[in-house]
Amino acid sequence: MVPRFDTLDETPGFEVVDPIETRRFPLSTPSAVEPTPADPDSFRFPVTSACTIETSALTLPYTVLAYVWDADGEVLSELAHDESAEFPRDEYLIELNVPIKLYLRVESGVRIESDTDSMRLVFESETPVTVGARSFSEDPTGTVTTTDDPVDVMAAVSTLGSALETTTCERSWPTLREHPPRVERGDELSVPDGIEVPDTGVTVEVPPNYDAIYSVAPLAYYFGAEVVSGDTPRLTVGNSNAGSTARRDSKTRWFGRSNRRSSSTA
């Protein structure tokens, strides 16, 4: 299920409906609009559904945190509550921090007005606005079952990267990292079909023991890395690797606060 776009019944505008998290977010317009399907791949950031409307303004029911990006992906402005800004005619991507993840793509001059009660985006004229949406899931994307065998635990940890919405540097934005799968003990290793791990080419080798595996779990999640068994801890990206010579004792943790630095070869 993906977000959908429905016209409002009582006032001009439309609402974005997230059937997964059962959330709705309305946007009002000066006159009636009819959302038409658009290509989700036209957005810089991942969205699962998109539509296009024509309007001269959009009004939000309350003020939200908004980011304005230019066509090259540079952040031009971050607008918090009660802040306003104006931008000359150009192509913009506007990110709205609402319960459903929303992006607006528009080529126009844009004025953003906000006060304690609402936020309004005003364009230089009636213009096409493409709206992209994706569910902002706060729940695990599924459940992976693993045995107590460290090799199976490695395979389970290797699925954490399936929660990444992108493998570009934009993954540093929390909203592009969804909740990873839940991991539970069971009689066998089982990964549901709906959990798809990105092909990043990143591999983490660690000794097959719980201490080492649990230490690299956050790294596997953030990098979308595969965790495999190896005598010497190392991170491999394609043909490059970074080996670790850090000792493990009560004060030193692998990939932790060690004073020893790893060497790397290109």
Q: Concatenate the DSSP letters of all residues of 217-253 into one string.
A: HHHHHHHTPEEEE-SS-EEEETTEEEE-----BTTB-
In this structure, are 52 and 169 located in the same domain?
no
Res 262: pLDDT: 35
* Structure token pair of residue 87: 């931008």
Distance of CA 93 to the CA centre of its chain: 16
Last residue of a domain, one of 134, 161, 190: 134
Residue pLDDT, tens place only, 24-51: 999 999 999 999 999 998 998 888 899 9
Chain mean pLDDT for the chain:
86
Residue pLDDT, tens place only, 146-156: 999 999 999 99
Q: Distance between CA 254 and CA 257 in Å, rounded?
A: 8
Residue pLDDT, tens place only, 109-126: 999 998 878 899 999 999
**Does residue 247 register a pLDDT over 60?**
no
In this structure, are 170 and 203 located in the same domain?
yes
Total of domains in the chain: 2
Res 164: pLDDT: 78
33 close to 58: Cβ distance less than 8 angstroms:
no
In this structure, are 192 and 235 located in the same domain?
yes
Residue pLDDT, tens place only, 187-218: 999 999 878 888 999 999 999 999 999 999 99
Res 264: pLDDT: 35
In this structure, are 104 and 208 located in the same domain?
no
Domain with 125 in it: 4-134
pTM of the model: 0.64
In this structure, are 170 and 204 located in the same domain?
yes
